[in-house]
C-alpha cells in the first residue's frame, strides 16, 4: 500500500501590518500610465487660461475684454466686474471669519503679483493664451508692502480694504496669544535667558504635478462635476457649492492621480471657481491647469515669520520658560495661514514640557503670495528659533547640547502625560530617539575632536498626528468598505492619496482584519458621490485617523461576515476565525466557507441570511479624534498623538565658496506602530528633503515692488537628489499610540521639523556663525565668514552683525506686541442695523 503524501496543512495567515509590502500605487506611476489632471480629456473640452496681475499692489481702473472676445477660437471671457454679486466670497469657513475674503478675480484692487484679473476660455489652450494678450488692463500701481513688519507700521497702506477683521482696520487679520504659567516671572528668576530675533523664509510646495482642474457642468441634470488635483474633495465641494450658491449634492468632485501637494493643495483656489463658472455658462467641459510660474505666484507658500524669542533656564539646565513675539506673514490672502501660527507654535513647544510660556503673535497681510499649509505647518519655523536657542543656552551654561536636551525632553514615568501647554502625550520614545540619532552621527567623538569648518548639530521636535484646527472644530475621516460578491473588497475614502500610499496601507489593515488577500483589495478613487465624508489628506493624519476609520469599518464588516457564517455553519461566532479568504472553524483553517459565498448570500441569496439580518456587506465607519479645541490661553490638546523626531546633522562648510554640504544626517523617529516601513521611510526621506530646501536654498525672492524674481525651477533653488546625503541612518523607535487603537502615529511631516535648526546648529558648530535668517545660501555663508574674520569675532550672527543690517540687534530695540483685545463684534455697530428694541446699546455703548 502506497502512502499518501502528507496533506499540506495551512499555517496561520501572515499579518501584513508592519511589513514592507510593495506599493499598489507603483505600477501605474512607474509605467507612466497614471493619469494626472493635465491628462483628463473630456469630449468637447475647452481650455481656459488666467490673466494674472503683473504688479503686486494696485487699484484696478479698468479691464477691457472686448478685443479678446473677438479673437479666434475664444468662447467666453470673464473678469472680476462680471462676477460681482454673482458669486459668494469664500475663506470664512477655514479662517473662522464672518465673511470670506477670497474672490475669483481681483475686482477693485490687486493685492499681490499673480492675482487673477481675467480669464479666457477657447477651443485650444494656445488660442486662450493669445486672447489673454488682447485683454487691456489699466492698473494704478500702489506702493507694495513686502515686509510683514513694514506692513504693520503706523501709516502703512491698507492691503485688504473693506474687510473688518477682529483687530480693526490694519493689515493684522488675526492675533495669537499663549499664556501658560508666568513667563515674565520665569525670566526674572532664570539663571540664564537667551534671546534672539529669528526670521524664516517663504517656501513653495513645489509639487511636480501642477495645480489644476477640469470642470464639467451637465445642463440637463444641473450637476457640476469637477476633476481637481486637490488634497481634499469635500473642502472643494462644500466651498465651491457655497461660492456658486448651488446645492452641495449638485457638485461632484473627482480626483485623478494627484502628484503631491505637501499642503499646497489643501484648499480651494480661484481657478476651480473660474473653470466651474465657465462650464456652467457654456455647458461644456473646461480644462484649467496652471503653469509653473502661476503656481509659484499663487499656489500658496510657507508662511514667513519674524520671531523675537527668549528661552529661560536654570543653572542645572532645566528649561523654565519661553517667551516670543511673532510677526507671521500670511501673504495677501490666506485660507490656512493664521492656523499655521496657532498649531505650529502650540505643538512647536514640544518635546519640552515648558511650564511658563508667553507668546504674542500678529498675523499680517503683505502684498506677497498667499501663505498656506506646507509640510510641517509652522513647526519648522518654531523649531528653527527654539532649537537654536537651546544650543545658545547650552553654550551659556557650558553644557553639551545633547545633555541639555536629554535633561528636558519629555520622559514621564507614566503615560498619558499632560504638558503645561495641554498636550496629552500618550506615549513617546523621544529620549531614546535623541540618543540614537546623536550616536549615529558620532556626536561625542565629533565634539571631542573638532575639524575646521566641520560641525555637528542637533534638533528635536514633535509633530502632531491629525489636528483639530482652532477655526475648524473637527478632525474626522471615514471609510466605507464593501465585500463584493466575488470576494474582493472595495475601500471608499474621500481622503486623497497623493504619495501617502493609502491604497497599500488601507489594504494591509483590511487584509489583516478581514482575512482577504491583499491583491483582492482595491481603493476606489475619491469621488464625492460615492466616498463618505472626510476632511482630506493633510496634517499627517492618514495612517492614524483614516487608518482607524478603516480599522473600525473592517471590524464591523468582519462581525457581519462572521454572523452570516455562524448562521450557515450552525456554529457559534466565538468558534469561528477568518483568514485565507474564508471563514473557518477555529483550528481547521483548511475548511470553511469562502468569503465570496458569504457575500453572495448577502446580496443574491438573502434567504440564507440569519433572520432579521440586513442584507449586503457594506459598512461605513467614521473616526473623529478625541482632541480638544484651543483654549483662550492657547493651551489644548489639538492632536490625537505626537510623533517624535530627533535629528543630527554633520555639515562641512567650504570656506572659499560658502557652500554648505550636509555630509551625514541621522534621523530617529517614533512613528508608533508602522503599518508599512517602506512607506514610512519614504516619507521621512521626502520630509528631510523639504527641510533641507528650507534651510539651504529655497526662498521667495521679492524685489521692493513685490515682484517674485525666482518663479521658476531654474531659479528657485529646490534641492535635487545630488544635494541629499546618503540617508542610511533612519531609525524607528516605536512607542505605540495609546489613543489610536492600532497604535499608529503620523509619519509625513516628522522628517521636516527639525532639519533647519539641526543644520543651523551644525553650521554654527562648524563656523561660529549663527544664522538667524533662512535660507543659509553659499553667498550669505561666505560673506558672514569674511565679516566675522574682519571683525576678529569668535562668534557672529548673520545677518544681525553685518554692517548693513538695519533691523533690531538687541532686545532693547525689539518691538513690543500690541496687547489690545479683539474688537467684540456686534451687528448693531454695523450701519443699517439699527435695532429699535435693543435699548441696552445706549447703556453699554459701542464695543469700539
Contact set with another protein (CB under 8 A):
126, 129-130, 293, 656-659, 697, 714, 717, 719-720, 722-723, 777-780, 782-783, 786
User: In the complex, what is the shortest distance from the CB of residue 688 to another protein, in angstroms, rounded to a whole number?
Assistant: 17
Distances (CA, A) of 12 to 18, 77, 294, 589, 788: 16, 64, 55, 8, 67
Q: What is the DSSP string of 329-386?
A: E--S--SSHHHHHHHHHHHHTTTB--SEEEEEEEEE--SSPPEE--TTTTHHHHHHHH
Cell of 829: 455697530
Closest to another protein by CB, 579 or 799: 799
CB of 647 to another protein, least distance (A): 22
Cα diameter, the chain: 109
Ranges of H-type helices in 768-816 = 778-791
- Residue number, 603 or 717, with CB nearest to another protein: 717
Q: Which three cell numbers stand for residue 624?
A: 473623529
DSSP states of 133-171? TT-EEEEEE-----SHHHHHSTTPPPSS-S--BTTBSSS
Which single residue is written with the C-alpha cell 473642502? 235
Compute the least distance from the CB of residue 370 to another protein, in Å.
23
Strand-pair category, 286-289 with 46-52? parallel
Q: Closer to another protein at the Cβ: 202 or 498? A: 202
> Cell triple for residue 480?
466605507
Residues 6+ apart with CB under 8 A from 563: 573, 610, 613
CB of 697 to another protein, least distance (A): 7
Q: How far is the CB of 663 from another protein (least distance, A)?
A: 16
Kindly state the smallest distance separating residue 732's Cβ from another protein, in Å: 30
Which of 453, 731 has the CB closer to another protein?
453
Nearest CA to 233 out of 26, 28, 538, 468 is that of 538
- Chain centroid offset of residue 595 CA: 39
Distance in Å, CB of 499 to another protein, minimum: 23
Is the distance from CB of 110 to CB of 57 less than 8 angstroms?
yes
Nearer to another protein, 34 or 717 (CB): 717
Output 558 or 780, the one with its CB closest to another protein: 780
Is the Cβ of residue 208 or residue 714 nearer to another protein in the bound state?
Answer: 714
Could you give the 3-state DSSP secondary structure of residue 204? Answer: strand
Give the nearer residue to another protein in terms of CB position, either 33 or 779.
779
Give me the least distance between CB of 782 and another protein, in Å please.
Answer: 5
Smallest separation (angstroms) from another protein to the CB of 804? 8
With contact defined as beta carbons under 8 Å apart, do 755 and 695 qualify? yes
List Cβ neighbours of 128 (8 Å cut-off, separation of 6 or more).
47, 48, 49, 73, 74, 120, 121, 122
Residue listed under C-alpha cell 479683539: 822
Of the pair 163, 717, the CB lying nearest another protein is at 717
Q: Which is nearer to another protein, 418 or 712 (CB)?
A: 712
Q: Measured from the CB of residue 720, what is the shortest distance to another protein in angstroms?
A: 6
Q: From 381, 633, 619, 343, select the one nearest 475 (Cα to Cα).
A: 343
Shortest Cβ 655–another protein spacing (Å): 9
Q: 367 and 295 in contact (C-beta within 8 Å)?
A: no
Cβ neighbours of residue 830 closer than 8 Å, sequence gap 6 or more? none
Which one, 319 or 651, has the nearer CB to another protein? 651
Kindly tell me which of 487 and 697 has the beta carbon lying closer to another protein.
697
Between 646 and 690, whose beta carbon lies closer to another protein? 690
State the residue for C-alpha cell 454679486.
Answer: 85
Radius of gyration of the chain (CA): 28
Our CB check for another protein shows the closer of 570 and 656 to be: 656
CB of 748 to another protein, least distance (A): 25
Count of CA atoms in the C-beta half-sphere (13 A) of 437? 36
CB of 131 to another protein, least distance (A): 13
CB of 148 to another protein, least distance (A): 22
H or E element that contains 431: helix 430-440
Query: Would you say 729 and 440 are in contact if contact means Cβ atoms under 8 Å apart?
Result: yes
Which of 344, 345, 355, 349 is closest to 420 using CA atoms?
A: 355
Helices (H), 47-200: 66-69, 80-83, 92-95, 125-132, 148-152, 183-189
Give, to the nearest 10 degrees, the angle between helix 677-696 and helix 755-767.
Answer: 50
Amino acid at each position: 500500500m502506497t502512502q499518501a503524501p502528507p496533506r499540506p496543512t495551512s499555517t496561520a495567515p501572515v499579518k501584513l501590518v508592519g511589513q514592507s509590502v510593495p506599493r499598489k500605487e507603483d505600477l501605474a506611476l512607474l509605467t507612466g500610465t497614471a493619469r494626472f489632471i493635465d491628462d483628463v480629456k473630456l469630449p468637447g473640452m475647452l481650455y481656459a487660461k488666467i490673466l494674472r496681475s503683473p504688479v503686486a499692489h494696485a487699484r484696478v481702473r479698468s479691464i477691457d475684454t472686448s478685443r479678446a472676445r473677438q479673437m479666434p477660437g475664444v468662447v467666453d471671457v470673464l473678469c472680476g466686474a462680471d462676477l460681482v454679486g454673482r458669486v459668494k466670497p469664500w475663506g470664512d469657513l477655514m479662517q473662522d471669519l464672518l465673511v470670506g475674503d477670497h474672490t475669483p478675480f481681483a475686482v477693485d484692487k490687486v493685492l499681490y503679483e499673480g492675482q487673477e484679473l481675467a480669464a479666457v476660455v477657447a477651443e485650444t489652450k494656445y488660442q486662450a493664451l493669445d486672447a489673454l494678450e488682447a485683454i487691456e488692463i489699466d492698473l494704478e500701481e500702489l506702493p507694495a508692502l513686502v515686509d510683514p513688519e513694514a506692513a504693520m507700521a503706523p501709516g502703512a497702506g491698507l492691503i485688504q480694504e473693506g474687510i473688518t477683521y477682529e483687530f480693526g482696520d490694519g493689515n493684522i487679520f488675526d492675533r495669537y496669544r499663549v499664556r501658560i504659567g508666568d513667563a515674565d516671572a520665569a525670566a526674572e528668576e532664570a539663571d540664564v535667558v537667551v534671546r534672539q530675533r529669528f526670521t524664516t523664509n517663504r517656501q513653495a510646495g513645489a509639487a511636480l504635478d501642477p495645480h489644476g482642474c477640469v470642470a464639467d457642468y451637465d445642463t440637463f441634470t444641473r450637476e457640476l462635476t469637477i476633476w481637481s488635483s486637490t488634497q481634499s474633495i469635500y473642502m472643494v465641494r462644500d466651498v465651491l457649492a457655497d461660492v456658486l450658491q448651488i446645492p452641495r449634492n449638485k457638485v461632484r468632485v473627482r480626483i485623478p492621480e494627484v502628484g503631491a501637494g505637501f499642503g499646497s493643495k489643501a484648499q480651494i483656489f480661484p481657478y476651480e471657481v473660474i473653470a466651474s463658472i465657465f462650464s456652467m455658462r457654456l455647458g461644456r467641459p473646461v480644462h484649467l491647469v496652471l503653469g509653473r510660474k502661476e503656481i509659484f505666484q499663487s499656489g500658496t507658500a510657507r508662511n514667513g515669520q519674524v520671531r523675537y524669542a527668549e528661552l529661560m533656564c536654570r543653572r542645572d539646565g532645566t528649561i523654565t520658560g519661553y517667551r516670543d513675539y511673532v510677526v507671521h506673514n500670511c501673504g495677501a490672502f490666506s485660507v490656512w495661514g493664521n492656523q499655521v501660527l496657532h498649531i505650529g507654535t502650540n505643538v512647536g513647544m514640544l518635546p519640552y514640557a515648558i511650564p511658563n510660556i508667553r507668546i504674542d503673535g500678529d498675523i499680517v497681510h503683505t502684498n506677497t503670495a498667499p501663505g498656506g499649509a506646507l509640510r510641517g505647518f509652522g513647526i519648522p519655523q518654531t523649531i528653527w528659533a527654539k532649537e537654536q536657542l537651546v544650543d545658545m543656552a547650552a553654550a551659556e551654561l557650558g553644557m553639551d547640547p545633547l545633555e541639555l536636551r536629554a535633561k528636558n525632553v519629555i520622559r514621564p514615568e507614566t503615560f498619558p502625560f499632560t504638558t503645561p501647554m495641554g498636550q496629552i502625550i500618550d506615549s513617546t520614545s523621544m529620549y531614546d530617539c535623541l540618543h540614537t540619532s546623536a550616536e549615529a552621527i558620532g556626536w561625542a567623538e565629533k565634539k571631542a575632536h573638532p575639524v575646521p569648518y566641520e560641525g555637528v548639530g542637533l534638533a528635536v521636535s514633535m509633530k502632531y498626528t491629525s489636528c483639530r484646527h482652532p477655526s475648524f472644530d473637527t478632525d474626522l475621516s471615514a471609510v466605507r468598505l464593501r465585500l463584493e460578491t466575488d470576494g474582493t473588497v472595495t475601500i471608499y475614502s474621500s481622503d486623497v492619496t497623493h504619495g501617502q500610499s493609502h491604497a497599500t496601507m488601507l489594504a494591509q489593515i483590511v487584509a489583516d482584519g478581514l482575512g482577504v488577500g491583499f491583491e483582492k483589495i482595491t481603493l476606489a478613487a475619491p469621488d464625492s458621490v460615492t466616498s463618505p465624508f472626510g476632511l482630506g489628506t493633510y496634517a499627517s493624519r492618514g495612517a492614524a485617523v483614516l487608518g482607524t476609520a478603516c480599522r473600525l469599518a473592517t471590524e464591523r464588516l468582519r462581525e457581519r461576515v462572521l454572523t452570516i457564517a455562524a448562521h450557515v455553519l450552525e456554529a457559534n461566532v466565538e468558534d469561528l476565525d477568518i483568514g485565507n479568504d474564508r471563514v473557518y472553524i477555529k483550528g481547521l483553517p483548511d475548511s470553511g466557507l469562502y468569503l465570496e459565498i458569504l457575500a453572495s448570500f448577502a446580496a443574491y441569496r438573502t434567504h440564507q441570511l440569519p433572520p432579521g439580518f440586513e442584507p449586503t456587506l457594506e459598512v461605513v465607519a467614521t473616526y473623529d479624534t478625541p482632541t480638544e479645541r484651543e483654549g483662550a490661553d492657547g493651551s489644548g490638546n489639538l492632536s490625537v498623538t505626537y510623533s517624535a523626531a530627533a535629528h543630527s546633522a554633520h555639515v562641512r562648510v567650504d570656506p572659499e565658496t560658502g557652500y554648505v554640504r550636509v555630509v551625514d544626517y541621522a534621523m530617529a523617529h517614533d512613528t508608533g506602530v508602522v503599518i508599512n516601513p517602506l512607506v514610512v521611510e519614504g516619507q521621512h526621506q521626502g520630509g528631510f528633503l523639504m527641510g533641507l530646501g528650507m534651510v539651504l536654498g529655497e526662498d521667495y525672492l521679492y524685489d521692493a515692488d513685490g515682484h517674485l524674481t525666482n518663479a521658476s525651477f531654474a531659479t528657485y533653488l529646490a534641492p535635487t537628489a545630488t544635494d541629499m546625503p546618503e540617508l542610511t541612518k533612519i531609525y524607528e523607535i516605536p512607542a505605540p499610540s495609546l489613543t489610536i487603537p492600532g497604535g499608529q502615529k503620523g509619519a509625513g511631516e516628522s522628517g521636516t521639523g527639525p532639519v533647519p535648526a539641526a543644520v543651523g546648529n551644525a553650521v554654527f558648530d562648524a563656523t561660529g556663525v549663527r544664522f538667524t535668517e533662512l535660507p543659509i545660501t553659499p553667498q550669505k555663508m561666505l560673506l558672514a565668514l569674511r565679516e566675522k574674520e574682519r571683525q576678529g569675532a569668535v562668534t557672529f550672527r548673520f545677518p544681525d552683525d553685518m554692517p548693513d543690517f538695519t533691523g533690531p540687534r538687541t532686545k532693547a530695540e525689539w518691538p513690543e506686541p500690541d496687547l489690545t483685545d479683539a474688537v467684540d463684534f456686534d451687528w448693531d455697530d454695523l450701519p443699517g442695523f439699527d435695532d429699535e428694541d435693543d435699548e441696552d446699546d445706549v447703556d453699554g455703548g459701542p464695543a469700539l
